[in-house]
A and B are shown apart, each in its own frame.
Chain A
């Protein structure tokens, strides 16, 4: 099993060659912005050209007016004119660069946001089978880090590639124009720059991955010592833990230094290459100048142009790297977008009419995608729940209780057999119309950030505050809510972390009540509530059970005692059914469970 952090590192460092299909598909997300892209590229070309012209003006200034001039007057006017031209060029560059950056970000983030939207929408359509077999962290990454990692290519890819290529070509052309021999001599440094840059990127990335992995271990150590601080202190482990933490830090230190060493070899090496280039210009160029084959200004321009070699090569190497990780991200994103939801409305599906609550299972066979071959989670399950009845499902972990409930919710569809509600086959109804009428409370007790009130209205946003308070009063949770710092307006932090498990559970009960479901399902809903509180809400729950069909899954047999019918499940089959008293009298599996329960 991998932690969330492991997955993030694994995915962040994955690289792939980009296939033509992936590339075209990414490109299709840029289509809506094509006009702006053309404009952006025009800005880029112009900005690059103005950049390239700078040294040229200096060369002209030196050669025409500073070293050789006919009269002082001509030279003075000339240097003024060339400086003025330089200034205009600078102005143009300023405007163009700012406009270029603005438009690039608008395009890139626009397209990324469109893609993020598509991913988010698709996630809403996917069925639970996808969420069962895919680690939560991975799904979150698709809509989050994977999209982020497209930034470099989608925002800057085209313009940076164009400007780097133009700069390199432009520099070479201008150099050749001055003197092809010197250009050839200087270009000697290009090869080593390219090789060094690639090596730096490949090895640097590898070393950096090791650093990241270790840094995630540091985070994990700290997180654990905070989460387990009570145990740490109870066992007086502080000294040992600090020593262990230092060991984790030592590994991090070594890895960091190793990774930094790569960088600190590369940077001085590039500095050395640039020095060698300049030395070539001074030496070889100087001797050419001695023979009057090139001018002083041209010599200066050469040195200035040499400085423009390094940026584009590094940028292009970077882009290549980004392209590789973008390809990996993009394929993962498209993989998600291409996943078909398992449960979806059939052609001609109609919304379910107001449910009365007559639920029938007819020889239902079911297995999950993750279930091993030749095994069934439910085998030939048949039963009937009449409107208003309370049905309890009892059995060991893995006996199939939750699966029955998931099928009623149509989170999954059975492989064989059929399920009807009020005589309507579930497959011929729309999923949404079913979910609107069936309420469920699980032990997961998940809350969203926002206020308590917003959470309670989750299932029925049109409910008034009074409706909510009334539901809470019926259930007996109103007093608890009023004890919170700001009552119904208390903020819920991520996953409801600021409430105890019991409080969260009671809030999810209330949430289900507010939604006024026609069928109510409680899946181990009371296991996080202490026995005393359970007793308090038991009465309220019974009232709610009275006029809707309810399904209850519970470990504690005290909660199922009053059900109209109890189904005892074992290995996917209903092995006993009847009321509490009937089953006790029968002296079977249920009676045994009950005896064990009472003994405690």
Chain B
């Protein structure tokens, strides 16, 4: 959560227009919504008129000038009220379906954009921020679409129609209404935009306070180990006080202004009572007309109150829309080529490849080598020498900036991306599993796989045994809502997952760093089986794993400084030998 003062983004209509196309896609539903809404508004505005007529009629009757039959009014009134209720009942689902469909489209667009954006995008963005954009920000657009479709019409149409209706009864009264409503609307909109950054600040201070609480609990062992309980209470109190002070200051700001703005409009009632009353006494205005004006004023008051809400919605939505559009419009730097993957057994060739990240991370300079089908290539070198970067270029997680990467003779950039990636299996340093069943995790790359295939791969990956011991076997749900697995178990599932893909090229990022020795043994066996008959790239820190490699590439600061088999490299007195001797000496 953001600490300190966050700035309020400026209001930009451009952003709002950017998300409207998601709504425009459904013109018929829009027309229906607005149409029904207009009928409801018309009925709403007719009701005070009927009360007015009834009152006038009653008054004439009492004077003996006509005959008043209440039944007629009751029937008309009731039927209008019934129609209004019916239409309201109808409108609800129509407009909700419209808005929710549009929001679903937006969410899907964000989701798809995120999962297709290149690694380089995800390297530099914060995942929490992305999640909040695809949930909280989309949620704010719900208010915006609601405001567009309903509030705006409700406010504008109602106000114009009411003022016209009052004008017909008495122009002076209409002028009073405008004279009081206009400044109130202006002030409320003004205060709403003034208050927004203040409320944001309150929200941020609250967030800062909550962060202290969360960290205190998450880090309770550290707090206790250092005997820092008192310091934590002090820190919390400080944040708590800042939050409370800011909140009260904001409420005071509100209390000194917003009720005043509403009060200005409130003046319309006594003014109309007085001015309208005089007209009635002078016989220039029907008592019934004055009564309906009184009811109209109450309706206006309701709409005036909504202006503040409307302003807030638009401003929030502008910021949210901007954040959402950024994701949807983020250019896809990695595009699939058109050429199908050529038949082959997995030859990989790097031709003078160069690559660098935008941040201060390992880059590659002039890397050239050729891996024959079925060979095992070990890549060694110190942390930050570019080992992972090198293998990431093979399935095109990143694109080489200089030179070419050839897969079975074809430039990786020209190949169909899906086919390429399915042909390259990767075991990452941290084995990420999805919170679904074990079986679905293993079949991740091949959703249609049979249970036999899944079990076969699990056996090969030394995972079948522990999976069978789980309560629901292969149907056990893992992850946050299910069973949690140990690092070694996760890794074996990841290996089974790669097995099922039957890739021609395999990449193993040193994956056994934090597993205890007994499990490590199992994993090594599984890995060895997986490598059989595939071109394999291994990143390793242990020498036991690189012994048998057909070729070892020693990387230092992004360059290949030595290459050869273990025996050859040991004979040279280079960097490889130096590190090797260090490890033996231990």
Q: Check if B127 sits within 8 Å of A290, measured CB to CB.
A: no
Partner of B100, one of A140, A237, A257, A494: A257
Q: Check if A83 sits within 8 Å of B277, measured CB to CB.
A: yes
Contact partners of A432 in chain B: CB under 8 A: 227, 229
| Segment 14-68 of A: residues with Cβ below 8 Å from B | 54, 57-58, 61-62, 65-67
A-B contact pairs, 13 of them (CB 8 A): A1-B480, A1-B482, A58-B273, A79-B277, A223-B131, A234-B424, A264-B91, A282-B77, A303-B51, A303-B295, A493-B126, A495-B218, A600-B544
Stretch at the interface among A102-110, A163-171, A414-422: A102-110
Partner of A249, one of B78, B108, B277: B108
Known: A105-B247, A230-B397, A527-B514. A444 touches B221 (CB 8 A): yes
* B112 interfacial by beta-carbon distance below 8 Å: yes
Interface centre among A229, A292, A458 (most CB of B within 10 A): A229
Contact partners of B228 in chain A: CB under 8 A: 458-459
Q: Check if A532 sits within 8 Å of B541, measured CB to CB.
A: yes
* B281 interfacial by beta-carbon distance below 8 Å: yes
Q: Check if B444 sits within 8 Å of A237, measured CB to CB.
A: yes
- Taking the closest CB of chain A, its distance from the CB of B402, in whole angstroms, is 23
Q: Check if A223 sits within 8 Å of B127, measured CB to CB.
A: yes
Partner of A236, one of B128, B274, B422: B422
Q: Check if B248 sits within 8 Å of A596, measured CB to CB.
A: no
- Taking the closest CB of chain A, its distance from the CB of B432, in whole angstroms, is 5
Residue of A nearest to B127 (CB): A226
Q: Check if B111 sits within 8 Å of A225, measured CB to CB.
A: yes
Partner of A2, one of B424, B481, B484: B481
Interface flags, A283-322, vs B, CB<8A=1, else 0: 1101101101000100110010001000000000000000
Q: Check if B259 sits within 8 Å of A98, measured CB to CB.
A: yes
Q: Check if B225 sits within 8 Å of A438, measured CB to CB.
A: yes
* A499 interfacial by beta-carbon distance below 8 Å: no
How far does the alpha carbon of A120 sit from the alpha carbon of B501 in the complex, in Å? 51
Q: Check if B115 sits within 8 Å of A233, measured CB to CB.
A: yes
Q: Check if A494 sits within 8 Å of B89, measured CB to CB.
A: no
Residue of B nearest to A460 (CB): B226
* A6 interfacial by beta-carbon distance below 8 Å: yes
Residue of A nearest to B96 (CB): A260
* B134 interfacial by beta-carbon distance below 8 Å: yes
Residue of A nearest to B497 (CB): A235
How far does the alpha carbon of A249 sit from the alpha carbon of B103 in the complex, in Å? 10
Partner of B215, one of A67, A246, A494: A494
* A224 interfacial by beta-carbon distance below 8 Å: yes
* A439 interfacial by beta-carbon distance below 8 Å: yes
Interface flags, A214-230, vs B, CB<8A=1, else 0: 01001111111111111
Q: Check if A276 sits within 8 Å of B81, measured CB to CB.
A: yes
Known: A67-B59, A229-B114, A282-B77. A448 touches B445 (CB 8 A): no
- Taking the closest CB of chain B, its distance from the CB of A388, in whole angstroms, is 21
Q: Check if A555 sits within 8 Å of B236, measured CB to CB.
A: no
Contact partners of B70 in chain A: CB under 8 A: 282-284, 286-287, 290
Residue of B nearest to A430 (CB): B227
Interface flags, B106-125, vs A, CB<8A=1, else 0: 01101110111101001000
Known: A249-B104, A263-B92. A227 touches B68 (CB 8 A): no
Contact partners of B343 in chain A: CB under 8 A: none
Contact partners of B541 in chain A: CB under 8 A: 530-532
Interface flags, A261-293, vs B, CB<8A=1, else 0: 101110111011001101100111011011010
Q: Check if A67 sits within 8 Å of B287, measured CB to CB.
A: yes
Q: Which 6 interchain pairs have the tightest Cβ spacing? A: A264-B92, A275-B81, A286-B70, A268-B88, A435-B227, A83-B274
Interface centre among A65, A110, A233, A253 (most CB of B within 10 A): A233
* A475 interfacial by beta-carbon distance below 8 Å: no
Contact partners of B252 in chain A: CB under 8 A: 102
Give the A interface residue count (CB, 8 A).
Answer: 152
The A interface is mostly helix, strand or loop, or mixed, namely: helix
- Taking the closest CB of chain A, its distance from the CB of B564, in whole angstroms, is 22
Residue of A nearest to B494 (CB): A231
Contact partners of B84 in chain A: CB under 8 A: 268, 271-272, 275
Contact partners of B281 in chain A: CB under 8 A: 65-66, 69, 72, 75-76, 79
The B interface is mostly helix, strand or loop, or mixed, namely: helix
Partner of A233, one of B119, B226, B583: B119
Q: Check if A226 sits within 8 Å of B114, measured CB to CB.
A: yes
Q: Check if B225 sits within 8 Å of A76, measured CB to CB.
A: no
Residue of B nearest to A411 (CB): B224
A3-B480, A144-B213, A233-B397 known; 16 other A-B pairs, CB under 8 Å? A79-B274, A90-B266, A125-B229, A222-B130, A226-B131, A229-B115, A231-B434, A242-B108, A242-B112, A257-B97, A265-B92, A290-B62, A440-B225, A448-B222, A497-B126, A596-B518
Contact partners of A245 in chain B: CB under 8 A: 107-108, 111
How far does the alpha carbon of A105 sit from the alpha carbon of B383 in the complex, in Å? 56
Q: Check if B92 sits within 8 Å of A86, measured CB to CB.
A: no
- Taking the closest CB of chain A, its distance from the CB of B516, in whole angstroms, is 5
Interface centre among B68, B215, B233, B482 (most CB of A within 10 A): B215
* A371 interfacial by beta-carbon distance below 8 Å: no
Residue of B nearest to A500 (CB): B383
Contact partners of A220 in chain B: CB under 8 A: 435, 480
Contact partners of B214 in chain A: CB under 8 A: 140, 144
* A449 interfacial by beta-carbon distance below 8 Å: yes
Q: Check if A290 sits within 8 Å of B61, measured CB to CB.
A: yes
* A196 interfacial by beta-carbon distance below 8 Å: no
- Taking the closest CB of chain A, its distance from the CB of B211, in whole angstroms, is 6
Q: Check if A271 sits within 8 Å of B88, measured CB to CB.
A: yes
Partner of A87, one of B51, B116, B267, B434: B267
On B, residues with C-beta under 8 Å from A are 1, 3, 47, 51, 54-55, 58-59, 61-62, 68, 70-71, 73-74, 77-78, 80-82, 84-89, 91-93, 96-97, 100-101, 104, 107-108, 110-112, 114-117, 119, 122, 126-128, 130-131, 134-135, 210-211, 213-233, 236-237, 240, 244, 247-248, 251-252, 254-256, 259-260, 262-263, 266-267, 269-271, 273-274, 277-278, 280-282, 287, 290-291, 294-295, 298, 360, 382-383, 395, 397, 417-418, 421-422, 424-426, 428, 432, 434-435, 444-445, 447, 480-484, 497, 501, 513-514, 516-518, 520-521, 524, 541-542, 544, 582-583, 586
* A409 interfacial by beta-carbon distance below 8 Å: yes
How far does the alpha carbon of A299 sit from the alpha carbon of B58 in the complex, in Å? 11
Contact partners of A446 in chain B: CB under 8 A: 218-219, 221-222
Q: Check if B270 sits within 8 Å of A84, measured CB to CB.
A: yes
How far does the alpha carbon of A533 sit from the alpha carbon of B74 in the complex, in Å? 88
- Taking the closest CB of chain A, its distance from the CB of B50, in whole angstroms, is 8
Q: Check if A237 sits within 8 Å of B445, measured CB to CB.
A: yes
Q: Check if B444 sits within 8 Å of A282, measured CB to CB.
A: no
Residue of A nearest to B86 (CB): A268
Q: Check if A219 sits within 8 Å of B290, measured CB to CB.
A: no
How far does the alpha carbon of A385 sit from the alpha carbon of B4 in the complex, in Å? 47
How far does the alpha carbon of A378 sit from the alpha carbon of B424 in the complex, in Å? 48
Contact partners of A61 in chain B: CB under 8 A: 273, 277
Contact partners of B229 in chain A: CB under 8 A: 124-125, 432
Contact partners of B273 in chain A: CB under 8 A: 57-58, 61, 79, 82-83, 86
Q: Check if B58 sits within 8 Å of A296, measured CB to CB.
A: yes
Q: Check if B435 sits within 8 Å of A448, measured CB to CB.
A: no
Interface flags, A66-95, vs B, CB<8A=1, else 0: 110100100110011011101100110110
Known: A223-B127, A283-B70, A494-B215. A299 touches B55 (CB 8 A): yes
Contact partners of A101 in chain B: CB under 8 A: 251, 254-255, 259
Partner of B107, one of A82, A218, A236, A265: A218
Residue of B nearest to A281 (CB): B51
Contact partners of A226 in chain B: CB under 8 A: 114, 122, 127, 130-131
Known: A224-B434, A268-B89, A448-B215. A235 touches B422 (CB 8 A): yes
How far does the alpha carbon of A373 sit from the alpha carbon of B97 in the complex, in Å? 55
Q: Check if B119 sits within 8 Å of A600, measured CB to CB.
A: no
How far does the alpha carbon of A109 sit from the alpha carbon of B240 in the complex, in Å? 11
Q: Check if B82 sits within 8 Å of A230, measured CB to CB.
A: no
Residue of B nearest to A105 (CB): B251
